[in-house]
Structure 1
Amino acid sequence: MVTKMFDDAPLPMPHVPAAATSPAIAVVVPIFRHSVLLSEAIESVLDQRGDAQIAIILVNDGCPHQETDRVCRDYAMAYPDRVTYLRKPNGGLSDARNHGIRHALKTWPSVEAIYMLDADNRLRPDALGNALQALRDDPAADWIYPNIDMFGLQWAGDYGGDYSLLIHTAMNICEAGSLIRRKVFEAGVFFDTTFKSGFEDWDFFLTAAAAGFRGKNIENFGFLYRKRAESMLADSERDAEAIRSELRKKHKAIFSPRGLAALEQVEAPRYAICLADRDEVLLTTDPDLGDQRRIPLAEFEAMWWRTQTDNTQHHCPPILVITHSAVLAQLKAAKLLHGLLWTMERRLAQRPFVALELQPQESERLSWIEEDVHGIRELNAAMLMIAPKIMTKIMRDSSITWGGGVAAQPCATPTLSIGYRLNHQFFQGQTPYQAAAHDFVALCSQFRASPKRGALDLNWDWRRPDIPWRSRTHEITRIPTLANAAYPRVADGATDVGFVLPLVEFGGVERVALNTARAMKRAGWRPHLFIVDADGCQFSDEWRDTFDSVTFLADTDFATWGGAGSSYIGTDVPDWSRHGDQRDATAMLAWLDVVINFHGGAISGLMGRLRRFGVKTGLSLHLNDHTPFKRLVGNTYLGLAFEHAYDLFLPCSQQLADWCHAMGVPEEKIVPVLNAPSFDLPETSRKAIDARRGGMDAKEGLKVIYLGRLDQQKGLERLIGIVDLSQTEIPSVQWRLIGKQVVSGNGARLPTRIVQMIEPALTDPEELAAAFEWADVFVLPSYFEGLPLTILEAMRSGVVPVATDAGAVSEVVRHWQNGVVLSQNDTVIEAVEALGRMARDRKLLHKMSGQARQDMQGRDWDSAVAPAMARLAAMLEAGQERPREE
């Protein structure tokens, strides 16, 4: 056979095949510029003890030193039954290793495992025997990797303990000099030849791990690593960040927030949640997962002490949480547990302790407050989260006053209290648990009395502990976003969808979000609510039943709007969206499959980052706002400014969809989610409406209703004019004004006569249905709109809408067929004339009422949301991340 050297000169290819032996191990030695040291490496393999036959494959990777060729030839001739010499053009370290590996696989079916030995390293006599025995003894181990004992520059590093892919993402814990099972290569895992600057072994083992293989460290491997002041590894460290960037791109699934959280849950749970009422400890990252570990307190104590002897071989959850099983149940029922754990962990960056206090309240409103209770008052903690290593400091504190800082009588340690008000139903008649701080003091006392405490003063290892990440694995999951805490949620196969809103106060946008979420939940997806610009919200049963979790961003630097140093087509672009600290907000959402922004304003600025993590992003659009000079501005324009960061635009009407396309949004990115009535009509209400519409009586007079916000956008002064003029012109008219009274846009308050007519806002479906059942006509004289839900709800109940031509109103209201469309100029006069005509012509009113009901048949949220879900599902299935640079 012949091969071409790097200078293309054909030379005989020395290849002395092994004799008819059956080696169990093949040692591949790639060689480039190590001709003088090579003999040491070869001799160390020839000197291996044990029963296993070993074949050596020397791969000359186009080395320019003639001495390399002579040394290889000499050994191949001297040991023809043990040494094979392969010569190839220079292709780099990975290519040379692959060349030798493929030769071994093809030549010796008996080979169980392949060992990578660099030409300047050595092995102790029992190294390969020890490693092979470890492989044979543990079927779950796919490669055996060593501790690092260096010579030259002397140093010894301990890489012991269970293999952790999570830690492997943060540091290269597996030396290339590992014994690797044959099946790893037969599965198609080889060294990537594009990695020519170093860390190719790191990439190889990450690839193997991604394919389902796992490594194992053994204490007595016997690997000797030559360390010099200047080496290829030194060059690699200089380019480390660039190489790590390539690793992250190649192994995106592992390095993503979702991938890291899944590894954390399995390998290194973040929280040790001590249940004081049960003497049990829950080891978990995501408390919702069914395969979580729950162990006795005594077992946890032993686990914790194993981590205190400075050997970095053992793991114990770094964050301790003290609470009561009833508190966990209450927070889960309230859908708050994950968001609260995340917020408390973020606050640990500045505090040694963060406490949660729960307060019962009657209303369905959620609200919270953060307060420094340092030396101010007694701490009534339902949950106490303790920063990493605080327990170690307490155990090493020999003073008799160590407990004074956490005893909370009053609290003398810098402690942040997060107070939450929950509905009484969550406490089920129980007195709220408030003793977490006291139970923590008791736990510390128990640990301090342990006979193991004396081990803190001893050094147990002669090697340097070299996996510092073992004690701070919770920081690894923070790396992708650089946040103060990764969100403690682990993907479990369901499709998780995040709904981002600035606030939840039963406005139109919130109702669209709720109904979109309900439709998705009915289809099997899992909705999550994220409130980014409020410290409280209305959270009724229908919201709680719909959303799997509710989380507050709780970032004082964030504002939906404001602080704009630039604008896009006349709309302010909030500074936070471009220059703000987005790390925590990104972490809050990066674990999701889909994120939909519902008027979150500045939150658009992080959508590009989310897309790079594989999250699909959508923007729900409802209307163009108007300036006092009637210029179009608002969330729609901000969406256009960040168009590249969104996968889908989800306008509420076809008219708004056409506007998006005209403004430059690609057609394939626009999927209308057409508004539908925001609540299901109760069956009893439906029957009552049927009876009402079937027996319209002119003697009753014309019943007219306004239902909604009483603000400037809705045409408040127009409404007042219509009410006043109609009462003069139409004696039989009856009015009901239902909504929340606000100050009008010009600062003038509502007239007393109008205030006296106003009824409280309605949110209950039966109450809303009853209000529409009462009415004949619904009036909405808005200046600007999207596609108002109240119009659709009114029409479904046979109430004839009389509304201005705003937004997409004319998309559903057909003039004098199912309603009346008013101009923006003579709105009051036109409205009163329309009301007068319907008051006089009851047959016309009855006909329009029937047409309105007919037009709303089949208009529901399941049908409206289905196209968007189908598009998102296809994108998730195809993995169309399509990252773009900002």
Structure 2
Amino acid sequence: MKKVLVISNMYPSKEHLAYGIFVKNQVEQLEQEGIETLLAVNTNPATGKKTVLLKYLNWAQNFMRIFRANKRNISLTHSHYVFPSGLFSYYLKKRYNIPYIVTAHGGDINKMAKKSGQIRQFTEKILQRADHVIAVGEELATTIETNFHVPNDKISVMSMGIDRTVFKEADNKQHCAVELGMDPKKTNFLFVGNIIREKGVTELVQAFNKVSESIPGQSALYCVGSTKDTNFTSKVKELAKGNVDIHFIEPMPQTELAHYFQAADVFVLPSYIEGLGLVALEAMSCGTPVIASDVGGLHYMLADGAGVLVPPKDEILLQLALENAVKEGIQVNDSRVNELLELHDAKNIIARLKKIYSKYAN
């Protein structure tokens, strides 16, 4: 096999460590397994109409430079996010007959494709013309098959995988908590993700405020994530103002982030939409139980006692789940959790991905 051109509209940089980190992780894992890759990626998370147009123009120019310099050495392309990344793969297949794989991550189908009729049409064309489609969760795969008319045998359900050499249980959770400045006598809740409305951060802070009132001094909340919308983040921090047990922490390298997963007593992911919810698996891999919204891939992941599911956007039921965790703790079905961790182990994911590549590569 020649080289795989990986295309993604999200990819981390030194300034933005968490921006599409799962794509970078997979690229590095592929390289370790002997798959040579080329990158045509956007590392700029800036928003705003003019800024987005400019950054995507720069990305497109970079993509063409990389392609022209390596045209003869590309076996296939792999796009992360159907639109806009998949447009590049679609173009190369139409013009040069280069096969492509596209991974749908959730927001591209559940959010981006609904922004306009034109984007939806592009999304459908990209999915239907792809040699193979990867959906990170079961519900997402069903949506792609049903709403975008993609044959079932052309879709694989496959997460981005978890590196269990990084995300693993600590010998002593309390010791980890102390090292990070947490009070091990409290129930320490952890949220990891962008500080945006769709992640349910507003409901989380409001629910935790009520837990702090009903059971004072017994818990703390740590929110690790980057600011994508300054106004929204300011509003969330205003809601948290006065509660000394709520802490906002900037993104960090995954080796450091793993310590927060290890130290926390409960991981909380109250998203409105979620293709899979890889961070929930990372928490579980560190031995930390999960409370999450009953949406998307989380619905399947946390079924059968693997975690606690609550309705999205429901502050009251989220509060009750948090209070119950403080009072009673969370018991999980260990065999189901172990089954999930094995299924989503990065080594197994990469083995499956290599088989797909070999099937379609020129």
Q: TM-score, normalised by structure 2?
A: 0.77
CA shift, 1:665, in A, is 0.9
Partner of 2:162: 677
Q: Does 1:729 align with 2:198?
A: no
**Residue 607 of structure 1, CA deviation:** 2.8
Whether 1:587 aligns to 2:68 is yes
Counterpart Cα distance in 1 of 2:247 and 2:206: 14
Taking the aligned partners of 2:277 and 2:334, their CA distance within structure 1 comes to 20
Give the Cα–Cα distance (whole angstroms) in 2 for the partners of residues 856 and 660 of structure 1. 23
Partner of 1:657: 141
Counterpart of 2:310 in structure 1 is 822
Q: 1:838 to 1:633 in 2, by over 3 A?
A: same
- Which residues in structure 2 correspond to 1:288-687 (within 5 Å)? 494-505=1-12, 510-532=20-42, 534=44, 558-559=56-57, 587=68, 590-591=71-72, 592-599=74-81, 601-611=83-93, 612-624=95-107, 632-633=114-115, 638-663=122-147, 664-677=149-162, 680-681=165-166, 686-687=170-171
Q: Which residue of 2 aligns with 1:832?
A: 319
Q: Which deviates more from structure 2 when the two are superposed, residues 772-781 or residues 699-708?
A: 699-708
Using the alignment, how far apart are the partners of 1:853 and 1:830 within structure 2?
24
Give, in whole Å, the separation in 2 of the partners of 1:518 and 1:642.
Answer: 26
* Equivalent residues of 2:207, 2:318 under 8 A apart: yes
C-alpha distance in structure 2 between counterparts of 1:803 and 1:745, whole Å: 21
SS of residue matched to 2:92 = helix
- Letter aligned with residue 512 of structure 1: F
- Greater relative contact order (Cα < 8 A, sep 6+): 2
Q: Is the 8 A contact 1:590 1:610 kept in 2?
A: no
Q: Of the two, which has the highest radius of gyration?
A: 1
- Give the drift of 1:587: 2.6
State how far apart, in whole Å, the 2-side matches of 1:622 and 1:603 are.
12
**How big is the shift at 1:651?**
1.1
2:278 to 789, 792, 803: 789
CA distance, structure 2, for counterparts of residue 820 and residue 797 of structure 1: 17
Deviations 1:301-350 (A, max 9, x none): xxxxxxxxxxxxxxxxxxxxxxxxxxxxxxxxxxxxxxxxxxxxxxxxxx
- What secondary structure, in the 3-state scheme, does the structure 2 residue paired with 1:671 have? strand
Alpha-carbon distance in 1 for matches of 2:317, 2:191: 16
Counterparts in 2 of 1:745 and 1:624: CA distance versus 1, 3 Å: same
Shift of the 677–605 alpha-carbon distance from structure 1 to 2, 3 Å rule, reads closer
Change (3 A) 1:780 1:852: farther
* 2:6 alignment partner, SS class: strand
Cα gap change, 1:602 to 1:798, in 2 (>3 Å)? closer
Kept in 2, the 8 Å contact 1:711–1:744? The answer is no
Considering fraction of residues, name the structure with more strand. Answer: 1
**Cα 1:560–1:730 shift into 2, 3 Å:** farther
Q: Distance between the aligned counterparts of 1:509 and 1:621, measured in 2?
A: 16
Q: In structure 2, what residue type is equivalent to 1:848?
A: V
Kept in 1: contact 2:113–2:120 (CA 8 A)? no
Preserved CA contact (<8 Å) 2:106 2:275: yes
- 1:850-865 aligned at under 5 Å gives the runs 850=334, 853-858=337-342, 859-865=344-350
| Separation in structure 2 between the aligned mates of residue 795 and residue 776 of structure 1, nearest angstrom | 11
Quick one: distance in 2 between partners of 1:728 and 1:687? 33
CA contact (8 A) 1:509 1:622 kept: no
Q: More helix by proportion, 1 or 2? A: 2
Cα RMSD (Å): 3.8
Instruction: Give the 3-state SS of the residue equivalent to 1:836 in structure 2.
Output: helix
Partner secondary structure for residue 171 of structure 2: helix
2:292 to 798, 803, 812: 803
Query: Partner residue of 1:779?
Result: 268
Q: CA deviation at 1:676?
A: 2.6
* Length, aligned pairs only: 335
Q: CA–CA distance in 1 between the matches of 2:259 and 2:135?
A: 30
What aligned pairs does 1:212-361 form with structure 2 within 5 A after superposition? none
The alpha-carbon deviation at position 794 of structure 1 amounts to 0.7
For residues 270 and 306 of structure 2, the distance between their equivalents in structure 1, rounded to whole angstroms, comes to: 17
Deviation at 1:638, TM superposition (A): 3.9
What runs of 5+ residues in structure 2 fail to find an aligned partner?
Answer: 47-52, 178-183
What 5-or-longer segments of structure 1 have no aligned partner? 1-493, 537-554, 562-575, 694-698, 880-886
Query: C-alpha separation between the residues in 2 aligned to 1:516 and 1:653?
Result: 17
CA contact (8 A) 1:794 1:800 kept: yes
Q: Aligned equivalents of 1:760 and 1:787: distance in 2? A: 23
In 2, Cα distance between the equivalents of 1:608 and 1:851? Answer: 42
The superposition leaves residues 4-48 of structure 1 with CA deviations (integer Å, 9 ceiling, x where unpaired) of xxxxxxxxxxxxxxxxxxxxxxxxxxxxxxxxxxxxxxxxxxxxx
Tell me by how many angstroms 1:589 deviates.
6.3
Shift of 1:632: 4.2
How far apart, in 2, do the equivalents of 1:730 and 1:636 lie? 47
Map of 1:759 onto structure 2: 249
Match of 1:860, as an amino acid?
Answer: D
1:832: Cα distance to partner?
A: 1.5
Q: Structure 1 residues 718, 852: closer, same or farther in 2, change over 3 A?
A: farther
Equivalent position to 1:704, from 170, 189, 195 = 189
Does structure 1 conserve the Cα–Cα contact (< 8 Å) formed by 2:167 and 2:285? no
- Whether contact under 8 Å (1:714, 1:782) holds in the other structure is yes
Task: Provide Cα deviations, 1:578-627, integer angstroms capped at 9, x if missing partner.
Answer: xx9x9657536644112111237344334344225342211111113666
Worse-matched range after superposition: 494-503 or 599-608: 599-608
Distance change in 2, residues 1:535/1:689 (3 Å): closer
What displacement does 1:836 show? Answer: 1.9
Amino acid at match of 1:740: S
